[in-house]
Each structure stands twice: as structure tokens, then as C-alpha cells.
């Protein structure tokens, strides 16, 4: 085991596993309810990080529109001198306090957490996972992957897959609507730029939900779908809260 795998396992995977088992051991809690509780806890812990990512994405959108026009002027002015061109672009970014990569770091952290949760929920609680439970947490004797006594979360489930795809579609539609509503005014965009943006949004709006439905109905265990479903609901609420604050500030 290399150092990165060890850090990932001990800093993320194992703590999340133990929290899941802790919830599972609570009275009247089954595997599905334990996943829902874990989802709310992880989203609560990463709330500020998620908020930061959304705010930074919006700032990059606003500043990027202004900076882009200036960059085109610089590129045209110094097209024969790439070194000078790069220097002037970096100078422009500093003047405008613009960093196109500022929202990437929170997203990378979120992505790593999602990978850990994905591995945890995909594997469930088997003999290998039970060996990783801390000594102060009770090990489940007869683990059951059932949710509400009927849904086997260790297998794909069509109903959960459809619900997850539907909530992802609603999330994307809500996000694009809010971004458009709060986009910078009086910005000129070329038709080909608008067309490309519309194509990308259409793909996100329809392709991602359909892909999720296929994966959760045919390939992945429905435990992952259950997590994604509730995490997306929280994401919708959080996005609306952030943009409502932006509206009040305006």
C-alpha cells in the first residue's frame, strides 16, 4: 500500500465506514436510513466548502466575462510576441483579482470525498470492512443491506435509479435557471459562444440524468443511488439559499 492509498483509507474511507456503522447500530435504523444520516452529516460538514465552490464559480463567471474581452485585445495586440502576451494576461488577472482555477480546489476536495463514499457504499459492510471498524464501535453481527425491509441496496434498483435521474435533472435545471437569472447584464456574446454554452447545458441537463439512470438501474448498487438522491436534494436547497442571499445583497 502506497502512502496516498494509506492516507485516503485512514483519513476518509475508514472514518466514513465507522460513522456509517455507528448509524447502522442505532435503534430503528437500517442500512438505508444509515446512508441517509451519513449523507446529511457529510453535506453538513462540507456545507461551507460547497458554498465556497458555488460562490467562486459565480465570481469566475462574472469576472470572466469582463476579462475575456480584455484578453482578446491583448492577444490581438501581442499576437507576434507570445511571451509578452502571456505577461500582459497575467498582469490583467492580477489587476482584476481574477483566478480561473479558484473554484477548482473545493471541487477537487468534494470529488475525493465522493470517491470515498462511492467505494464505501459500493462495497457495503462485508468481512473486510468489519476488520476496519474501530474498537469502540460495535461490529454488526448480522448485517442486512435492506432499506425499509424491502429494497436490497446491494443491488441495482430501477425505481431508485429513475428517482435519482429525475432529481439530477431538476438540480441541473434549477442551477442553470439561477445562473441565467443572476448572470452579468449587458455582456456581448458571439452566437457561436452562446451556441456552445447551450450545447453543454443541454448535455448536462439530459445526458447526465440518463447516464445515472442507466448506471443505477444496471451496474451500481442502489446504496450509491440513495446517497446521490439525498445529496442532490441538499444541493438544490443550498444553491437556492446562496442565490437568494445574492439577490438580497443586490
The pLDDT tens digits of the residues spanning 15-41 come to 999 999 999 999 999 999 999 999 999
pLDDT in tens, 54-69: 777 776 666 666 677 7
pLDDT in tens, 160-217: 999 999 999 999 888 888 877 766 555 545 555 555 566 677 777 888 899 999 999 9
Q: For every residue of the chain, which 3-state class applies, written as one string?
A: CCHHHHHHHHHHHHHHHHHHHHHHHCCCCCHHHHHHHHHHHHHHHCHHHHHHHHHHHHHHHHHHHHHHHHHHHHHHHCCCCHHHHHHHHHHHHHHCCCCCCCCHHHHHHHHHHHHHHHHHHHHCCCHHHHCCCCCCCCCCCCCCCEECCCEECCCCCHHHHHHHHHHHHHHHHHHHHHHHHCCCCCCCCCHHHHHHHHHHHHHHHHHHHHHHHHHHHHCCCHHHHHHHHHHHHHHHHHHHHHHHHHHHHC
Average pLDDT, the chain: 82
pLDDT at 204: 75
pTM score, whole prediction: 0.81
Amino acid at each position: 500500500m502506497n502512502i496516498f492509498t494509506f492516507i485516503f483509507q485512514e483519513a476518509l474511507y475508514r472514518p466514513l465506514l465507522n460513522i456509517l456503522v455507528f448509524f447502522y447500530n442505532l435503534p430503528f435504523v437500517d442500512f438505508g436510513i444509515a446512508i441517509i444520516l451519513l449523507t446529511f452529516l457529510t453535506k453538513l460538514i462540507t456545507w461551507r466548502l460547497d458554498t465556497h465552490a458555488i460562490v467562486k464559480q459565480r465570481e469566475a463567471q462574472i469576472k470572466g466575462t469582463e476579462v475575456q474581452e480584455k484578453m482578446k485585445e491583448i492577444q490581438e495586440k501581442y499576437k507576434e510576441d507570445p511571451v509578452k502576451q502571456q505577461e500582459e494576461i497575467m498582469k490583467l488577472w492580477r489587476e482584476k483579482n481574477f483566478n480561473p482555477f479558484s473554484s477548482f480546489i473545493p471541487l477537487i476536495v468534494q470529488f475525493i470525498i465522493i470517491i470515498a463514499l462511492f467505494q464505501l457504499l459500493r462495497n457495503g459492510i462485508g468481512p473486510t470492512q468489519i476488520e476496519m471498524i474501530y474498537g469502540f464501535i460495535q461490529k454488526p453481527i448480522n448485517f442486512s443491506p435492506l432499506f425499509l425491509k424491502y429494497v436490497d441496496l446491494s443491488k441495482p434498483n430501477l425505481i431508485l435509479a429513475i428517482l435519482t435521474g429525475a432529481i439530477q435533472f431538476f438540480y441541473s435545471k434549477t442551477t442553470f435557471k439561477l445562473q441565467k437569472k443572476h448572470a452579468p447584464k449587458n455582456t456581448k456574446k458571439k452566437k457561436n459562444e452562446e451556441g456552445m454554452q447551450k450545447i453543454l447545458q443541454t448535455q448536462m441537463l439530459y445526458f447526465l440524468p440518463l447516464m445515472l439512470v442507466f448506471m443505477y438501474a444496471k451496474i451500481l448498487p442502489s446504496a450509491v443511488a440513495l446517497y446521490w438522491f439525498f445529496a442532490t436534494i441538499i444541493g438544490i436547497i443550498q444553491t437556492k439559499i446562496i442565490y437568494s442571499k445574492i439577490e438580497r445583497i443586490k
